[in-house]
Structure 1
Amino acid sequence: MTSSNNQSCVKITAFMQWPYMAVRGTADNLKVEGSIVEIHKIIFDKLGYCFSYVYLDYFRCPLAALLSGNADMSGVPVAITDEVTKGKMEHSVYVYADELSAMYRRPVLEADISGLFNTYTAYVWWLIIAASLGMLFCVWVMRLPRNALFKKYRGEAGRTDPDNGALSKTFCSTSNFFSTLAVMLAQSIPNEPRRAPARIAFAFWLLVTFVLASVYRSNVKAMLILPKVDLPFNDAEELADTGLPLKMTFRSLLHRSLLKAPPGSTLSRLLPRNDSIYFDMNFSTAFKEMRKGAPVIAASRTVIRNVMHDSFSKTGKCLAYVMTDNLIGMNYYSFVFPKGSPLKAQVDPLIVKLQQSGIMDYVVRKATANATECLKPPQSQYQHELRPLKLRDFYGVFLLHIGGIFVGLLAFLIELAWAKLVYPLMPQPNSRQT
């Protein structure tokens, strides 16, 4: 510390770290601003000290001025590193805790083509198939005694029965199958049942299929109105699977964790795609590239909040998305002092009071207030947003329609081939003599 007008002055290192500290100008005309500057004013006004900032070349370690004796305290809280634990410096009580995460360009609304099948769960689809087979079995059981009776006393297989249909010979006869399927698709059935058991069974099946079809149509309509939002990744494992390049601060805590990660781990899988950058030099360029879908930017959540705050303040839109999980666990950041500095014992109690009163958290979050909207899940942000339907929204319906035409055409070709090739070879029944 130096003395000025009978007042002790503290020299603080000035280092670019959003949103805590932004440094502009030169060493002779230095302008420092940010949320941590307000904390400096509160602490040193309470201690009765003046303070000034020491210019630091951005490419140097922020602790270099402390090691050389040119500064009394680090301007921004830094993570506790090996230099501190080896006894070269001392750290204060932690100023704040933060997590390291990753952000990417914000996902947009997309058409839910799979809505034709996702209207029901797989379990419900299996129940529908089981119910269809059960109905088919029920019809077969009801017609089995009648078919046996006609074969015994009428003696002609293939003779029409009282229900105006051909006598069923197998479980999956054409009449049984198409009658069950036609009711499900709201089509006319080949033969109208006349006996009471068959009419009751088909009435029950008609009610079941009516409910299923009504719910299905409603769900398909809802999925067209509310399309899906696909998140690119939501944890480190998914990020590694995407193969996207990762950018971070050189020699940062995350960078060193990647280098030390054991082979085969999730972090080690991220390392080959790592393209380290200096945020204060290339961050704006990297952010523009990120919006185009090129890199993923890894940083602390506070830095990510500041990016979202800045973009929302300028454009009124949320341009970035942050994953829910963290790349590495919670990290604690503290002010750093030279070894044996008497300033540490004076600053620590004030930091604790600022934390307990909530002032520390309030000052930091006030600087990134506009990021609140962008930190919400993208699904909730688009919940009340209207958009016109695009051609892609109808791809699923078109595929279903084309599939139906293809099946119908295939059935026609099979019937045509059967009539031309197989039917003439079949023995024809003798016509009855009158």
Structure 2
Amino acid sequence: MALGHTIDRAKVVDFSENLYIDEFAIAYKRPKLTSDIIGFTRPFALSLWITVFVATLFVCATTWLILRSHSALSDSRRPGRDGDPGAGNRTRFLRDVEESVRWTICHLIGQPVPQDPAGNGPRIAGGLWLLSAFILGVVYRGNLKAMLILPKVVLPFDTLQELTETNIPIWIPEGNLVHKAIMAATPDSAYYRLRKQMLVHLDVPRGTRETFAGIHAVASPMTTIVFLIDLTFSTTGKCKVYVISERLFKTVSMGLVMSKTFDQKTELNRAIKRLKEFGIIEYLRTTDMFNATECLKPLSSSVASGELRALDIVDFLGVCAIYASGITVAAAVFVLELVLGRRREGRGREGAKDGGEDREHGGRGEDRSEGQKRRNGKVRLWRLGGFGDSHLTLGNALPCTY
């Protein structure tokens, strides 16, 4: 059995010639690819999303200022329906706001603009923003596609310092170099902070089962971890644990353990030297644990974890939530427009009714005055007929009054 050379062990047993130089590492259960409801935001960092939001507001405000300046310099403003110039100004103001927001958002999301900008200023601003939005869209789609094809797995920890910042326990066999380093560490070191997470026992089968089950991590020589990974992958075809990138002790001399009364120590050391000179020991180490190389690759693809994850409904919930929010806002605006439109229509009908009554009263007064004039004309005609004008009778007098 190969163990690391320590002073305490050397007091009890003898060690053979050095077989190889090993290093200590920490292994933990390999994380799986899971669904991400906000995965569509991952292609850009938070700082870039904030920059895009600020740039959108700036472009929208700039476009609105250009449109307002064109409106102020041109004679295209017309008075409102009631002849008030202020109504025309308000109408033009709202139209400028609508056009600036529509141009900015449509260019950003790659949608056609229903109306082309008028004037060189809006066209230059819109063209620059359209080019910037095109670059952002291409980069976003490329990163999103790359994340779907080659997803990134988030590790629980990858260094000793990160392990101390979690609540994950770690199994350390009693008496190995890591255990001694933790017990001798000063309070300001990362090894000392591992004391509250340390599980110490010598039940190797139990510790191995709990490590692969994800109950705790393990600190062990790298050769031992690679052997367990190779054995698991050879039997199940899956990589169940990963090894952090940081190594704890990189120059640990490993040798065979024997009793102090062993009388074949000289011949054994001579055979070990010959095997090392011909490279046989290193060859046996690499060939016997060949399958472990697949599990020691970086966790950058789902192939390395032994399984391919298909997209499920959770991956689309984020985009669907944004779409549903847009539909909800649009429906609310539509209902608001209907309510306001009916109120305006009701007010218009009331105004038209009041105007009709005024016109009706005015018309009745005109009819009464016209009737009075006609009666006066008839009296004059009858009087003319009574003073000897024989040719003017009732029959030819009435048509003259109408």
CA contact (8 A) 2:71 2:77 kept: no
Higher RCO, 1 or 2 (CA under 8 Å, sep at least 6)?
2
Distance 1:214 1:336 in 2: 62
Match among 133, 138, 159 for residue 88 of structure 2: 159
Distance 2:309 2:189 in 1: 42
CA contact (8 A) 2:152 2:301 kept: no
In the alignment of these two chains, the number of paired residues is 338
Distance 2:337 2:283 in 1: 77
SS of the counterpart of 2:88?
coil
- What is aligned with 2:242? 321
- What is aligned with 1:366? 287
* Equivalent runs, 1:151-230 vs 2, <5 Å: 156-159=85-88, 166-167=92-93, 173=97, 175-187=99-111, 192-230=116-154
Q: Does 1:401 align with 2:330?
A: no
Distance 1:216 1:204 in 2: 18
- Cα deviation for residue 336 of structure 1 reads 6.2
- What is aligned with 1:305? 226
Amino acid at match of 1:388: A
C-alpha deviations, 1:317-336, integer Å up to 9, x for none?
Answer: 22221212123443222456
SS of the counterpart of 1:166?
helix
Distance 2:140 2:170 in 1: 43
Amino acid at match of 2:316: F
* Equivalent runs, 1:371-390 vs 2, <5 Å: 371-380=292-301, 382=303, 386-390=308-312
Distance verdict in 2 for CA 1:181–1:330, change over 3 Å: same
Q: Does 1:95 align with 2:19?
A: yes
CA contact (8 A) 2:30 2:241 kept: yes
- What is aligned with 1:37? none
* Equivalent runs, 1:10-25 vs 2, <5 Å: 21=1
CA contact (8 A) 1:99 1:300 kept: yes
SS of the counterpart of 2:291?
helix
Distance verdict in 2 for CA 1:207–1:152, change over 3 Å: closer
- What is aligned with 2:198? 274
Distance verdict in 2 for CA 1:391–1:288, change over 3 Å: farther
SS of the counterpart of 1:198?
helix
- Identity in percent: 31
Amino acid at match of 1:288: R
Distance 1:210 1:233 in 2: 37
Distance 1:204 1:123 in 2: 22
Distance 1:416 1:334 in 2: 86
Distance 1:342 1:293 in 2: 44
- Cα deviation for residue 294 of structure 1 reads 0.9
- Cα deviation for residue 182 of structure 1 reads 3.3
SS of the counterpart of 1:298?
strand
- Cα deviation for residue 260 of structure 1 reads 0.9
Larger radius of gyration: 2
- Cα deviation for residue 415 of structure 1 reads 8.1
Q: Whose strand fraction is larger, Structure 1's or Structure 2's?
A: 1
Distance 2:261 2:213 in 1: 50
- Cα deviation for residue 125 of structure 1 reads 3.9
CA contact (8 A) 1:106 1:319 kept: yes
- What is aligned with 2:7? 81
- Cα deviation for residue 302 of structure 1 reads 0.7
Amino acid at match of 1:193: P
- Cα deviation for residue 200 of structure 1 reads 4.2
C-alpha deviations, 1:237-290, integer Å up to 9, x for none?
Answer: 112222111112122222111111111321112122222221xxx333333323
Distance 1:249 1:385 in 2: 32
Distance verdict in 2 for CA 1:227–1:402, change over 3 Å: farther
Distance 1:225 1:152 in 2: 54
Q: Does 1:143 align with 2:67?
A: yes
Mean Cα deviation higher: 322-331 or 117-126 = 117-126
- Cα deviation for residue 232 of structure 1 reads 2.0
Distance 2:172 2:233 in 1: 22
- Cα deviation for residue 344 of structure 1 reads 6.2
Distance 2:133 2:213 in 1: 47
Distance 1:192 1:126 in 2: 28
- What is aligned with 2:395? none
Q: Whose helix fraction is larger, Structure 1's or Structure 2's?
A: 2
Distance 2:215 2:71 in 1: 70
- What is aligned with 1:287? 208
SS of the counterpart of 1:103?
strand
Distance verdict in 2 for CA 1:330–1:113, change over 3 Å: farther
Unpaired runs of at least 5, structure 1: 1-20, 22-75, 421-434
Distance 1:154 1:406 in 2: 35
Amino acid at match of 2:194: L
C-alpha deviations, 1:144-166, integer Å up to 9, x for none?
Answer: 443333599979345269xxx71
Match among 32, 36, 41 for residue 108 of structure 1: 32
Distance 1:413 1:242 in 2: 51
Distance verdict in 2 for CA 1:186–1:337, change over 3 Å: closer
C-alpha deviations, 1:337-378, integer Å up to 9, x for none?
Answer: 788999766655654443343222122333323322222223
Distance verdict in 2 for CA 1:224–1:411, change over 3 Å: farther
- What is aligned with 1:392? 314
Q: TM-score, normalised by structure 2?
A: 0.68
